[in-house]
Structure 1
């Protein structure tokens, strides 16, 4: 089973993850997007998640999309969540460059 990160380890990880925050037992990031971007962005993140076999909760919000990461089997945030957050950032930043 994956090891839960300490509060200090989570804070250190969040310092390197732009736009992410801790909400209870999860890492969360809200990203403003246009409504027509939701499907391709959620699919691109799902593809990354499939590679590492660790899947986020993805939710459509009024302003865009929300990613919530937690390791359910461990009951909180693990290194797998931090790694997936970084992969999501890579997808989002690449999409911004492609569209910008």
Structure 2
């Protein structure tokens, strides 16, 4: 995966290793069923990972869970940074969150 926008083929290859993620509207999306009381800590853990990459996801909170949307707006779609952040979000969801400080 070179710098800049990824091709559909490169995105498909990346998605094969990212469980539950999909490519939609020039972004990577993942819906996660989590209770509302977990929204705050999960958002904070994901943002800790995002800060490391200097890349920030869109996070939507709903009654039945959360949706993560990753896209590099300056590039107009999905880049390698989005794929890397998706993998880091999966690590957070699997209990591998980075401690702050």
Q: Same fold (TM over 0.5)?
A: yes
Instruction: Report the counterpart of residue 64 of structure 1 in structure 2.
Output: 65
CA distance in 2, matches of 1:12, 1:86: 13
Instruction: Report the counterpart of residue 47 of structure 2 in structure 1.
Output: 46
Preserved CA contact (<8 Å) 2:35 2:63: no
Instruction: Report the counterpart of residue 99 of structure 2 in structure 1.
Output: none
Q: CA deviation at 1:27?
A: 0.0
TM-score by length of 2: 0.90
CA distance in 2, matches of 1:60, 1:22: 19
TM-score by length of 1: 0.91
What 5-or-longer segments of structure 2 have no aligned partner? 97-101
RMSD between aligned residues: 1.0
Count residues in correspondence: 94
CA distance in 1, matches of 2:86, 2:57: 9
What 5-or-longer segments of structure 1 have no aligned partner? 96-100
- More helix as a share of residues: 1
Partner SS for 1:65 = strand
Which of structure 1's runs of 4+ aligned residues deviate more than 2 A?
none
